[in-house]
A and B are shown apart, each in its own frame.
Chain A
Amino acid sequence: EPEVTQTPSHQVTQMGQEVILRCVPISNHLYFYWYRQILGQKVEFLVSFYNNEISEKSEIFDDQFSVERPDGSNFTLKIRSTKLEDSAMYFCASTLGGGIRDTQYFGPGTRLTVL
């Protein structure tokens, strides 16, 4: 069964550095999402992406964040200047369609640690 993949599984970085988290959604899916989970807290929506555009973003997704689909397979989340509070688990998800009944399939996550 096809799965969403994410790399790396764990990223350690220094505060102020740029990081890029990578995701490969399921190949025929069209809608892509990033979520994050700070340790001990709930999974929170960051951004949704469709047709090479951001379709919705949360308050968390400020100017330090950006997303891109650089080719036909990858979907990336970039944090330009990381802060300590960016330390979290970041999940990528994809769906085939954009409707309310479309199941989101999640990747295994990337644990980001900012020192």
Chain B
Amino acid sequence: AQRVTQPEKLLSVFKGAPVELKCNYSYSGSPELFWYVQYSRQRLQLLLRHISRESIKGFTADLNKGETSFHLKKPFAQEEDSAMYYCALSQGSGTYKYIFGTGTRLKVLA
């Protein structure tokens, strides 16, 4: 079955520390992986996607097909990074609906 797992509900780090938000997926085909961010009282916004291989707000994520992971990383956390982060998978057929993980709340402490 298709599944996205984010093992940490809450991750607290100090400002300037490295951040890694974990995401593992289960899917037999060739998925597209996304990270969405939800700042307080705001909508879900696309942060980045694996196909674009870009860095947004200092965040990067590499798709590791061997480990079926798509971890989100940032070398130096900022207070404004505090938000809810969701990993999502779009299946490679059908309607390309998203399958979401449960989300990780990142708190960056001053």
Contact = CB atoms under 8 A, between A and B. Distances in A.
Partners in one complex: yes
Interface of A: 3-4, 31, 33, 35, 41-45, 48, 50, 55-56, 91, 93, 95, 98-109
B98 A35 contact: yes
Interface of B: 31-32, 34, 36, 42-46, 49, 51, 86, 88, 90-92, 94-103
30 contacts: A3-B43, A4-B43, A31-B95, A33-B97, A33-B98, A35-B98, A42-B102, A42-B103, A43-B98, A43-B100, A45-B98, A48-B95, A48-B97, A55-B94, A56-B94, A91-B44, A93-B98, A95-B96, A98-B96, A101-B32, A101-B49, A101-B51, A102-B96, A104-B46, A104-B98, A106-B43, A106-B44, A106-B45, A108-B42, A109-B43
A45 B92 contact: no
Contacts of B44: 43, 91, 106
A56 B102 contact: no
Contacts of B97: 33, 45, 48, 56
Contacts of B102: 41-42
B102 to A, nearest CB: 5
A108 B36 CA distance: 13
